[in-house]
Structure 1
């Protein structure tokens, strides 16, 4: 198995339909020991229910907006695992009113919130966990093509994803001296709880299936397999890159 003996984190997992959960399942199937995060104590029971009966898996609480929480997480992970081989960052949020309508109407508070949770959280968590990464560790985050295109009903989240992708490149430079790789996965639209906040999601999903080169749906499974590649030694020479998982949508002209 590609990840046998490897230990790492997937932060955070929301529910069984989330991209993070698809990634957890794929990494676990390849032998990894995984710590998964819940946003707070209220959501922790949902996450714990997901992993009932599974071995090699633990839960943590991680509020990305709290430096104290990140320090506490770091100490808990160190006590449980010592060092870690991979970290998958799966966190994004924006107020619904900042996704719809005109981007120019984004509030100052809404802008700051989206950038904090969706982009700075990667930087802050990598800093908190930095001394726990083994040399040659892999860090993966999740973006969307709205980072480089003005996607309808995406608005502030597109700006946040652009910041996230830029942060990946700078982190890849900072951590590259230790052989640590930092990469981005960029799936197309997937029917997750977070994505349902984007108006017109079902129309987008239908369009993707009809008009992309592969003409078939994709989702958690494809994201999970791509995460296995990026977290394993198969991608040992890859850093600072964006891996699209969208049946070819990203290079088409429509």
Structure 2
């Protein structure tokens, strides 16, 4: 954990993708809050709100609104509220990924056209849509963060089609970093090791993936959402003002072996 200081005081950030208090996005929101940032959070739908509301309350979120990233009207309404309430935005965390179960659990060779298109739209193009709307609000520069995984770089058993999808996400982050750099908007990806979250549990043979990570990583343990949050808070802060286009690994060193 980062120390409870105010190095993000005065900064305003949007966190997209909190599922519950155990999600990576929740760990990041807690770290942003501990460092003094004002936050806006989103929830997918009415069913999800009851799981996100406690997180929003715990970080004193100024804004909590629904956001299905496939709904342009909801996305427009979210950014209009941020513009009206805050006027500016300093950072945005994109922690969104989805793939239909039958495609996620099958071979890349057998992935359906519809499943691939949906996974790319929700997991990758949603970052582009958010960036486009965030750009005019980042009048003093800012930071965009997204969540990736080592399966984007190396073939990981049972990660299947999400490997190519995350590879596209990391590449998108690099291209955004170049396009938005002249406006002092930095773009980076976070790549945690496997965490025991609800989203990750959808991966086939996930228990095996967890045990393999523990065995292979130099630190021989799993990453925590608090540790991912600490890295996220650092990257959106002025401490990392020259860091852009990077993929930051928070995996106990697993990516090097």
TM range (shorter): over 0.9
2:89 is aligned to 84
2:3 is aligned to none
Contact 2:9/2:35 (8 A) holds in 1: yes
Contact 2:249/2:255 (8 A) holds in 1: yes
2:210 is aligned to 205
Q: Which of 104, 113, 121 does residue 108 from structure 1 map onto?
A: 113
2:15 is aligned to 10
Distance 1:221 1:2 in 2: 17
Tell whether 2:175 aligns with 1:180.
Answer: no
Q: Unaligned stretches of 5+ in structure 1?
A: none
Q: Which of 209, 215, 240 does residue 235 from structure 1 map onto?
A: 240
Using the TM superposition, name which of 4-13 and 206-215 deviates more.
206-215
Tell whether 2:42 aligns with 1:42.
Answer: no
CA displacement at 1:97 relative to structure 2: 1.1
What is the SS of the residue equivalent to 2:183?
coil
Distance 2:149 2:81 in 1: 31
CA displacement at 1:58 relative to structure 2: 2.7
1:249 is aligned to 254
Q: Which of 154, 159, 171 does residue 159 from structure 2 map onto?
A: 154
Q: Which of 57, 62, 66 does residue 67 from structure 2 map onto?
A: 62
Question: In the TM superposition, what are the counterparts of 1:133-144 in structure 2 within 5 Å?
Answer: 133-144=138-149
Distance 1:110 1:54 in 2: 35
Runs (4+) of structure 1 moved beyond 6 Å? Answer: none
Contact 2:32/2:233 (8 A) holds in 1: yes
What is the SS of the residue equivalent to 1:124?
helix
TM-score relative to the length of structure 1: 0.95
Q: Unaligned stretches of 5+ in structure 2?
A: 1-5
Q: 1:54 to 1:231 in 2, by over 3 A?
A: closer
1:218 is aligned to 223
Distance 1:149 1:53 in 2: 37
CA displacement at 1:2 relative to structure 2: 1.1
CA displacement at 1:134 relative to structure 2: 3.0
What is the SS of the residue equivalent to 1:164?
helix
Distance 1:70 1:61 in 2: 9
Aligned residues between the structures: 252
Q: Which of 61, 71, 78 does residue 76 from structure 2 map onto?
A: 71
Contact 1:32/1:56 (8 A) holds in 2: no
1:125 is aligned to 130
What is the SS of the residue equivalent to 1:51?
helix
Distance 1:236 1:53 in 2: 28
Contact 1:37/1:59 (8 A) holds in 2: yes
CA displacement 1:140-185 (0-9 Å, x = unmatched): 1000111122222222211111111111011111110011100000
The alignment yields a C-alpha RMSD, in angstroms, of 1.3
TM-score relative to the length of structure 2: 0.94
CA displacement at 1:46 relative to structure 2: 2.1
CA displacement at 1:200 relative to structure 2: 1.9
